[in-house]
Structure 1
Amino acid sequence: MYQLTLGQRAQPTSPCGTSTDLRGGPIPAQPAHPTRTASSPARVGRRRCRPPPTDGYEGRLVGSGLSGCRGGGGGRGGDGSDCIDALGRLLTRILRHMASELNLEMRTDGYVRVRDLLKLNLQTFAKIPLKSHTVDEIKEAVRRDNKQRFGLLEEDGELLIRANQGHTVTTVTSESLLKPILSADEVSVCVHGTYRKNLDSILHQGLKRMARLHVHFSSGLPTDGGVISGMRQSVNILIYLDVSKALQDGMKLYISDNKVILTEGFDGIVPVKSPISRRHLSPSSIREAKP
């Protein structure tokens, strides 16, 4: 059992609906879409507050190198950013959650062949078939992702891509995907962000990995300049893990390429010891929170 330190921060009001995505937490409500025929590519992506514009990219991206983004869907300003963003969201879903059901060959370190991805009969919310995208657009989606969710690898002339963390597919293994943390000195802070509505359950049952392979911790706070991924900006409860104690008790901790700290816990659970110390933090003092 671990004594964790909790902090609270203010939660901004969401302007959208209260649905839940694969990663948990609120996402905007999805607008209605026309019925898809059996021959149409499946559409996969994140819901939006409003439907995308219907004006196409045709004729606007000539010479841009983003050939798939000329094929349809809406854009913000006609520069292809919406198209590439939609592609990145689809890649996240496929590489974290869908490889098995799509019969996509995935290695234990999470890598798949880009050419295999581009053969899939799927469509993004930008209304562009994945097959019409190019390798350059895949690279651009990786480059633009501000949370560095993806890794690219060229091996024997073959371009491979993976999600750096967040998997539910059981093909990947922690040892192949991640770097082990062997000492508490390797991380300055290990903090899990969640919401008040989840607190009672966490105190009674511990932190659960749920459908994912790991419980996720951030190596810093969202307001820290060096922190990229591992925590939503909207969390209002902060839970700090005593890394030294966890390692002493035999818990295996890992860190991903985008600096998310991950653990399988014990049987999928990081236990929480009560009583725990609570600190009520305003948004302005959140930087001063210490484990």
Structure 2
Amino acid sequence: MRAVAAAASPPLRALLLLSRHPRRAGFTNWPSLPRGQNAGPTAPPAATAPKPAAPSRRQGRGLTASLPRQVARISTPHLRPPATPPRCPDRRHQSHGVRALAGCPRKTVRHLPAPTSHLRFTMNPSSSSSSSGGTRVLRHMAAELRLDMRTDGYVRVRDLLKLNLQTFAKVPLKSHTVDEIREAVRRDNKQRFSLLEEDGELLIRANQGHTVTTVTSESLLKPILSPDEVSVCVHGTYRKNLDSILQSGLKRMARLHVHFSSGLPSDGEVISGIRQNVNILIHLDVSKALKDGMKLYISDNKVILTEGFGFDGVVPVKYFERIETWPGRAPIPFQR
């Protein structure tokens, strides 16, 4: 053992000396010794000994507080508290992979853009969320942006390209061409847009989801006249919303319609109308709804829509055929 100690490096020799003879190593804060018996040869008298300062987070506690830095770093990693990098105080940085302060633990380095009055309109057709800016304009902001929107939701593409908008890449929308609009619509994986050419003029619209009152259901959508036209009519939601829905029914909220899907989330043909992460499915009794005068429509991308009843556009609970969990498909009892 002495040969091993002799051949060891200086930090290791110091550690061996410390582990066997802490007093000889000059270490006077051995935590296992009773109070009053830990004063070594280098310590001042107990009566005049200053109160030891609390070890900092960086220093650690107990043994590592008085060790030489080189020995502590090599020999006692298990005694040091784990290093916790400072978290960025901005919640947006933690949730969106953005870090604006040194030491933010997120790996992605993106800085939030400066506030801008320009609405973002993306032209990246390969992204699953690439058309969110376009749908926002065509569904909700036609009046605000003074777009000439028809009752069927169509606007002229050339009017759209004149707007003071910019893409997510901060490229002015005016720099894009009509052909690029065509390609973006063609490659949109949710088929949220339709194009129409009249008298050499290209028009574009969002297929559903409007809040602008200029649009009428009869002009925008195809009516469903028979239950045979619909094999599945389901509304996807979340368990946290179920109690409210069972009390007051499904509401269209600020939109013109309540949305239903023509298939289940697992169906490959379902493109839009239901989120993939829903955990509650509400099936509509289409036959009963049509019999009682509820107007049902279907959009070009196979989303089923209804204005509901009354000023608030409500689908009452009595028209629910069944409610089940997803993906377990366990039935949930309810009272109509």
Match of 1:192 among 235, 239, 250: 235
Deviation at 1:144, TM superposition (A): 1.1
Change (3 A) 1:259 1:159: same
Q: 2:315 matched to which residue of 1?
A: 270
What's the CA shift string for 1:234-269, capped at 9, x where partnerless?
111100000000000000000001100000000210
Name the SS for the 2:245 alignment partner.
helix
Q: Which amino acid in structure 2 is aligned with residue 212 of structure 1?
A: R
Deviation at 1:137, TM superposition (A): 1.1
The answer as to whether partners of 1:253 and 1:261 remain within 8 angstroms in 2 is: yes
Separation in 2 of the partners of 1:275 and 1:129? 47
Greater RCO structure (CA 8 Å; 6+ sep): 1
Match of 2:114 among 34, 40, 45: 34
The answer as to whether partners of 1:167 and 1:213 remain within 8 angstroms in 2 is: yes
Separation in 2 of the partners of 1:196 and 1:125? 34
Q: 1:212 matched to which residue of 2?
A: 255
Q: 1:112 matched to which residue of 2?
A: 155
The answer as to whether partners of 1:253 and 1:262 remain within 8 angstroms in 2 is: yes
After superposition, the CA RMSD in angstroms is: 2.6
Change (3 A) 1:158 1:242: same
**1:179 is aligned to 2:222:** yes
- Give the 5 Å matches for 1:236-255: 236-255=279-298
Deviation at 1:276, TM superposition (A): 7.7
Which contiguous aligned blocks of 4+ residues in structure 1 show a shift greater than 2 angstroms?
A: 43-46, 273-283
Change (3 A) 1:214 1:274: closer
Separation in 1 of the partners of 2:226 and 2:319? 25
Deviation at 1:17, TM superposition (A): 4.3
- Give structure 1 stretches of 5+ with no counterpart: 1-15, 19-29, 47-68, 70-74, 287-291
- Give the 5 Å matches for 1:161-172: 161-172=204-215
Question: Under a length normalisation based on structure 1, what TM-score does the superposition of the two structures give?
Answer: 0.70
Q: 2:68 matched to which residue of 1?
A: none
Larger Rg: 1 or 2? Answer: 2
Change (3 A) 1:251 1:130: same
Change (3 A) 1:173 1:198: same
Structure having the larger proportion of residues in strand: 1
Change (3 A) 1:81 1:179: closer
Question: Under a length normalisation based on structure 2, what TM-score does the superposition of the two structures give?
Answer: 0.61
Separation in 2 of the partners of 1:98 and 1:281? 34
Separation in 2 of the partners of 1:178 and 1:264? 12
The answer as to whether partners of 1:203 and 1:273 remain within 8 angstroms in 2 is: no
Separation in 2 of the partners of 1:240 and 1:184? 13
Q: 1:43 matched to which residue of 2?
A: 119
Q: Which amino acid in structure 1 is aligned with residue 315 of structure 2?
A: V
**Percent of pairs with identical residues:** 74
Q: Which amino acid in structure 1 is aligned with residue 237 of structure 2?
A: T
Aligned residues: 222
The answer as to whether partners of 1:254 and 1:263 remain within 8 angstroms in 2 is: yes
Name the SS for the 2:219 alignment partner.
helix
Change (3 A) 1:127 1:186: same
